[in-house]
């Protein structure tokens, strides 16, 4: 049987009517949240110095709002996938201070995380679940730190170079040369010596 439609518009309508029930079937929505599992400061209502997840990233979701210690982020819609989660930790930062954190540490989860369609992934961040905190004896490799600071969170580390072995950021002059070694002691010595 050879059926030939004479009107292109009728062909288009027929195609849409046949394909439409299958085209939009996405199933249940999939989400991710960041759980800051560092201990919350006692008796200060979460306003004092603490380990704050300053920024986060998992597959397609950027978490721009800081997550206080002991708290959970808003959920972000994601796709079913398996990947590492990456965060920027602001240790010792008071999230209600209004000031930008003085120290930022790039971190990643110890292993890739998986979420299935319709589920919610809880990205738990602590020294037990993520690496990158030198104070916990868990530095990243320099290659991992470069990936995080240059490709995932370049705005947070703009104008600095990051040394993964010491977990320090060093300001970089316009010519790309570090201005100090970035440590508080070196900055104090430079100021005491009359440096700018």
Flag the least confident range among 45-49, 97-101, 107-111, 140-144.
Answer: 45-49
- 125 touches 96 (CB < 8 A): no
- List pLDDT tens digits, range 154-164: 999 999 999 99
Q: Phi and psi dihedrals of 35, rounded to 5?
A: -105, 115
Q: How confident is the model at residue 192 (pLDDT cuts 50, 70, 90)?
A: very low
**Domain residue ranges of the chain, discontinuous segments joined by +:** 27-192
pLDDT at 26: 60
Q: Which residue has the tokens 């998986």?
A: 114
Of all helices (H) and strands (E), which one includes residue 93? strand 85-93
Q: b vs e for 54-93, b when ≥16 Cβ sit within 10 Å of the residue's Cβ?
A: bbbbbbebebeebbbbebebebbebeebebbbbbbbbbeb
pLDDT at 100: 92
State how far Cα 121 lies from the chain centre: 14
Q: pTM of the prediction?
A: 0.76
DSSP state of 135: G
- List pLDDT tens digits, range 172-188: 876 555 555 544 433 43
């Amino acid at each position: 049987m050879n059926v030939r439609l004479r009107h292109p518009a009728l062909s288009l309508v027929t195609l849409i009517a046949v394909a439409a029930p299958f085209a939009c079937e996405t199933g249940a929505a999939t989400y991710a949240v960041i759980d800051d599992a560092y201990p919350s400061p006692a008796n200060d209502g979460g306003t004092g110095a603490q380990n704050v997840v300053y920024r986060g990233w998992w597959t397609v979701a950027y978490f721009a709002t800081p997550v206080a210690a002991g708290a959970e982020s808003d959920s972000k819609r994601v796709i079913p996938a398996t990947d590492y989660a990456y965060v920027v930790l602001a240790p010792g930062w008071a999230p209600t201070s209004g000031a930008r954190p003085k120290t930022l540490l790039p971190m990643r989860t110890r292993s890739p995380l998986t979420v299935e369609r319709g589920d919610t992934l809880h990205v738990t961040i602590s020294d037990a679940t993520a690496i990158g905190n030198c104070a916990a004896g868990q530095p990243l490799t320099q290659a991992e730190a470069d990936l995080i600071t240059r490709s995932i969170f370049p705005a947070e580390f703009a104008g600095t170079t990051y040394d993964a072995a010491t977990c320090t950021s060093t300001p970089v002059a316009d010519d790309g040369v570090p201005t100090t070694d970035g440590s508080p002691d070196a900055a104090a010595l430079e100021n005491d010596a009359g440096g700018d």
